[in-house]
Amino acid sequence: MTLILGLESSCDDSAVALVTSDRQILAQAVVGQNAAHQPYGGVVPEIAARAHVEILPTLIQRVLDDAKVTIRDVDAVAATAGPGLIGGVMVALLAGKGLALATGKPLIAVNHLEGHALSPRLVDPDLDFPYLLLLVSGGHCQLLEVRGVGQYRRLATTIDDAAGEAFDKAAKLLGLGYPGGPAVEALARSGDPKAVPLPRPMVGSGDPNFSFAGLKSAVQRAVAADVHRPEDIAASFQRAVVDCLVDRTRLALSSSAAPALVVAGGVAANGAIRSALADLATQEGRLFSVPPAWLCTDNAAMIAWAGAERFAAGLCDALDAPARARWPL
Ligand code: KG4
Ligand code: ZN
């Protein structure tokens, strides 16, 4: 059994976790920065990076104390090295390098997307490779065949906005503030998903990719027309996103023999999306796995777990591992 310390600061959540190779989460902490970014309607990179610098050391100490261990008990330090807002990425990566250097323990530079991609295996011991992954977050919307640790085949990506970005933009248009996903989902509960006719970009297309820009523009027009109730716009928008995700995932499943469908990333916290994809998996005769909502949105348990998987595979990194704003899987 190995003990991995995970560090995450690539967007607007500062997070630290201690996870074992046998799937125990000994302690974890996530501190968001919503209040700091709210006035700007989105994440301000400079504010985010400074906030990570202020909070991360305290969180590391708190998590070690909660787990009643010291840094000497840790077998390796896993830190997100990208992709993300570069000023933020550098904070956790440099903290991880400092701890690795001071203790002589190995550093594991984790791709944040690999953290999301492997996260379902932290809570689902029966989920074996390969699986088809729908990765839906604020920055990404991809379909990947996950064949093993570090082995990914990308089947589709978005040609414009990510799914989470679409939720955040729709929320902004509806005056719901940032982050938009949970607010749109809450408002959609009291709305009629058939009330507002909205497009489903790419649905039915043989091109496997996603597109959400046209949907955003249609929401903009619906809001400006001022004839629909906001809850109906929210519900209709959410239904349109669900239809797009289901259609694209169905197409990807037709070219993948993977026995399981998995959905991960912040948008996978959405109840309507979770249940629609569970239904799709049943229809297509695949197993289905989705992590609990807290593990879908950004956290360090998934980074520590990806670190545990990489450590077991002998994949450690040198102290000159670069921080990367862009880093495709
Ligand atoms: O994975 P994540 O926490 O950060 C990134 O790596 O991007 O994803 C954040 C995204 C945001 O766009 C947020 O609005 C969206 O996930 N999100 C949701 C929900 N919760 C978070 N979208 C729809 N419904 C939700 N319940
Ligand atoms: Zn993320």
Write down the H helix ranges in the chain.
34-37, 45-66, 86-103, 112-123, 163-173, 180-188, 213-225, 230-254, 271-283, 293-296, 301-312
Cβ-based neighbours of 80, under 8 Å, separated by 6 or more:
7, 8, 9, 10, 89, 92, 93, 110, 111, 112, 115, 303
Nearest to 11 by CA among 205, 292, 37, 121: 37
> Given this model, what pLDDT does residue 38 score?
83
Residues 303, 96: Cα–Cα separation, whole Å: 12
**pLDDT band per the 50, 70, 90 thresholds, residue 34:** confident
> pLDDT for 111-129, tens place per residue?
999 999 999 999 999 999 9
> Given this model, what pLDDT does residue 4 score?
98
Whether the CB-CB separation of 118 and 311 falls below 8 Å is answered with: no
> pLDDT for 273-290, tens place per residue?
999 999 999 999 999 999
**Closest Cα to atom 8 of ligand 1:** 266
pTM of the model: 0.96
Distance (angstroms) between ligand 1 centre and the Cα of 168 equals: 8
Distance (angstroms) between ligand 2 centre and the Cα of 228 equals: 33
- Cβ < 6 A, ligand 1 pocket: 11, 137-139, 164, 167-168, 179-182, 185, 265-267, 269-270, 297-298
Mean pLDDT over all residues of the chain?
97
Nearest to 262 by CA among 112, 124, 149, 140: 124
Distance (angstroms) between ligand 2 centre and the Cα of 116 equals: 7
> pLDDT for 308-319, tens place per residue?
999 999 999 999
Domain annotation for the chain: domains and CATH numbers: 3-117+296-312 (3.30.420.40), 129-290 (3.30.420.40)
**Closest Cα to atom 16 of ligand 1:** 266
Residues 165, 161: Cα–Cα separation, whole Å: 6
Only one residue has tokens 């704003």, namely 325
Taking the CA atoms of the chain, what radius of gyration do you get in angstroms?
A: 20
> Given this model, what pLDDT does residue 98 score?
98
Kindly state the percentage of the chain with pLDDT values over 90: 96
Nearest to 248 by CA among 156, 164, 167: 156
Cβ-based neighbours of 136, under 8 Å, separated by 6 or more:
162, 163, 164, 245, 263, 264, 265, 266, 267, 268, 273
Distance (angstroms) between ligand 2 centre and the Cα of 266 equals: 6
The yes-or-no verdict on residue 28 having pLDDT over 90 is yes
Q: Is 261 helix (H, G, I), strand (E, B) or coil?
A: strand
The yes-or-no verdict on residue 218 having pLDDT over 80 is yes
Which of 12, 167, 216, 270 is the best mutation target for the ligand 1 pocket, counting ligand atoms within 8 Å of the beta carbon and taking the most? Answer: 167
> Given this model, what pLDDT does residue 285 score?
98
Secondary structure of 116-129 as H, E, C letters: HHHHHHHHCCCCCC
> pLDDT for 172-196, tens place per residue?
999 998 889 999 999 999 999 999 9
Residues 7, 23: Cα–Cα separation, whole Å: 17
Sheet containing 25-32: order of strands: 25-32, 13-20, 3-8, 76-82, 107-111
> Given this model, what pLDDT does residue 236 score?
98
> pLDDT for 37-95, tens place per residue?
888 878 899 999 999 999 999 999 999 999 999 999 999 999 999 999 999 999 999 99
Kindly state the percentage of the chain with pLDDT values over 70: 100
> pLDDT for 11-24, tens place per residue?
999 999 999 999 99
Residues 18, 74: Cα–Cα separation, whole Å: 8
